[in-house]
Amino acid sequence: MNKRDLLNFRDLSREEMVRIFALATGLKRKQRQEIPHPLLARKCLAMIFEKPSLRTRVTFEAGMVQLGGHAVFLGPNEVQLGVRETPADCARSLSRWVDLITVRTFSQSTLEEMAAHASVPVINALTDLSHPCQVLADCLTLIEHKGELKGLKVAFVGDGNNMVHSWMEAAEKLPISFAVACPKGYEPNREIEEQARKDGARITVTHSVEEAVTGADAVYTDVWASMGQEEETAKRIKAFRGYQVNERVVAMAKKDAVVMHCLPAHRGQEITHEVLEGSQCIAFDQAENRLHVQKAIMVWLLRSFKDLDDDPWITT
């Protein structure tokens, strides 16, 4: 069987997404009931991180241990991709020792180069362009809170960044509509937007917060300056004034709307303390589901669903 990767939503079919949500739900139940589920016994995951992380690092590492395997963390000073050796050579070496690789890096092309040269599956743990694992966890969280994804409107307020790109790519495959409100000059990547539209995604890109948020079932935001853009922080704080998720903005959405944030959050910038701590906010449910969804992704990549059909206990 050819190896599979998860570099962006193009690597997943609609059916596979549905099965990942079901498997993640089953694994979450097993974990909460403290029932062992060593589906990846003795497997080893290498985790390359060129940027900081709390959630992604801990959830992949803890997830692999819960599945009976082991994880090796490699920070920026150890590997030095492109400096000490090429991403291709790094991928080829790692493939001789481990079963799976996750990569958090700057450029999507570094990730793609590693996947092209690795003989084991490679997972995108965030790039400047995309963050599919986060959006898969977000979708599971929405299913838990809203019953199903069908017909939901997700409104994103803030920077047209990696989170927005992954939401637009996911919207091609999911029965949701997605609207983003961002200041002029901070719109999402046009190519990704056009491709997603061409593939059937229902997407709105606007400068009006009211237009994006009206009728929304979920109001989503993320930092104004992403990792790697720290020196632009002061400039961005000015540019994004008016794009904060506060009580006035939440009131534009449906009464029962949820508020979402991928975290880390900057209170007083993209979101107020009151909204982040408010009863509508589900940010920590999203963070929890990173663990369960990524466990399902790793099982899917290493065992395939077909193999799991003989293990009915896992989805029940």
Q: Which amino acid is at 183?
A: P
Tokens of 159: 């920077």
CB atoms within 10 A of CB 135: 27
Report how many residues bind ligand CP under the rule CB under 6 A: 9
Please indicate whether residue 104 is annotated as part of the active site.
Answer: yes
Catalytic residue among 262, 281, 286, 292: 262
Single-letter amino acid, residue 274: E
6 binds, among ligand NVA, ligand CP, none (CB under 5 to 8 A by kind): none
Instruction: Measure the CA–CA gap between 174 and 152, rounded to whole angstroms.
Output: 10
The catalytically annotated residue of 66, 290, 292, 294 is 290
CB of 136 to ligand CP, least distance (A): 12
List the catalytic residue out of 55, 117, 131, 292: 131
- Per CB under 6 A, does 102 bind ligand CP? no
Residue 54's binding partner among ligand CP, ligand NVA, none (Cβ under 5 to 8 angstroms by kind) is ligand CP
Phi, psi of 3 (to 5 degrees): -70, 150
User: What's the min distance (Å) between Cβ of 159 and ligand CP?
Assistant: 14
At 12, the amino acid letter reads L
Of the residues 263, 280, 303, 305, which one makes contact with ligand CP according to CB under 6 A: 263
Active site residue 182: no
222 makes contact, choosing from ligand CP, ligand NVA, none, with CB < 5 to 8 Å by partner type, with ligand NVA
Q: How far apart are CA 29 and CA 35, in angstroms?
A: 8
Instruction: Give me the half-sphere count of Cα atoms (radius 13 Å) on the Cβ side of residue 47.
Output: 22
Q: Rounded distance, CA 174 to CA 13, Å?
A: 10
Binding to ligand CP by residue 262, rule CB under 6 A?
A: yes
Q: Is 131 a catalytic residue?
A: yes
| Residue 43 binds: one of ligand CP, ligand NVA, none (C-beta under 5 to 8 A by kind) | none
CB atoms within 10 A of CB 84: 11
Say how far apart CA 167 and CA 196 lie, in whole Å: 10
Residues 191 and 165: beta-carbon distance below 8 Å: no
Shortest Cβ distance from residue 274 to ligand NVA (Å)? 22
Identify any residues that bridge with 155 across adjacent strands, giving them in sequence order: 179, 219
Binding site for ligand NVA (CB under 6 A): 126, 161-163, 222-223, 226-227, 262
Residue numbers annotated as active site: 104, 131, 134, 222, 262, 290
Residues that bind ligand CP (CB under 6 A): 53-56, 126, 134, 262-264
